[in-house]
């Protein structure tokens, strides 16, 4: 018997909330792709603030949102934990493939844009993949 997909699996954007050292929540809209093991993932810059915050506190809250991170009316809050992976970590490529499958041409366009930007900022951190494990609802 297979379980039904998580309600967030079909969402185009989610509001991804991490926490500062002082406990203040910070939310940002991200793409969100389901992974075969039931977790979710997305990619981001390796030097992004969300990656830095996750190093200090792995707790996250995820809600369905629009592209600007405005939470959809009546969207449930899904708590969980997240870790940041680099290109050398097992699982990085799996997350990248899942996001590429879900977002197709848009993912390719964003990757190309990031590559172009890297030519002008050669000292930036490498990309990161975020693996999100939600607590069962």
Is 70 within the bounds of a domain?
yes
Q: pLDDT tens across 50-60, in order?
A: 999 999 999 99
Q: CB under 8 Å to 17, separation ≥6 — which residues?
A: 25, 26, 27, 60, 61, 62, 63
Q: For residue 122, give the 3-state DSSP assignment.
A: coil
**Is residue 4 a part of any domain in this protein?**
no
Digit-coded pLDDT (tens) for 99-133: 988 887 666 556 656 655 556 665 555 689 999 99
Residue-level length of the chain: 137
Q: What pTM did the predictor assign?
A: 0.82
Number of domains in the chain: 1
* Residue found by looking up tokens 């079909």 in the block: 10
Give the three-class secondary structure for 119.
helix
Residue range of the domain that includes 97: 13-118+125-134
CATH number for 44: 2.30.110.10
* pLDDT, tens digit (0-9, with 9 covering 90-100), for 63-96: 999 999 999 999 999 999 999 998 888 899 999 8
Beta carbons within 8 Å of 107's beta carbon, 6+ residues apart: 31, 99, 100
């Amino acid at each position: 018997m297979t379980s039904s997909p998580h309600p967030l699996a079909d969402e185009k954007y989610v509001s991804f909330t991490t926490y500062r050292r002082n406990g203040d929540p910070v939310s940002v809209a991200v793409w969100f792709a389901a992974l075969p093991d039931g977790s979710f993932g997305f990619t981001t810059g390796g030097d992004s603030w969300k990656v830095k915050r996750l190093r200090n506190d792995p707790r996250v809250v995820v809600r369905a949102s629009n592209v600007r991170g405005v939470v959809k009316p009546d969207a449930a809050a899904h708590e969980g934990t997240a870790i940041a992976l680099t290109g050398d970590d097992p699982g990085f490529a799996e997350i990248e493939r899942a996001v590429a499958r879900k977002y197709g041409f848009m993912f390719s366009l964003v990757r190309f844009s990031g590559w172009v930007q890297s030519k002008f900022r050669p000292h930036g951190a490498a990309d990161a993949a975020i693996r999100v494990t939600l607590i069962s609802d």
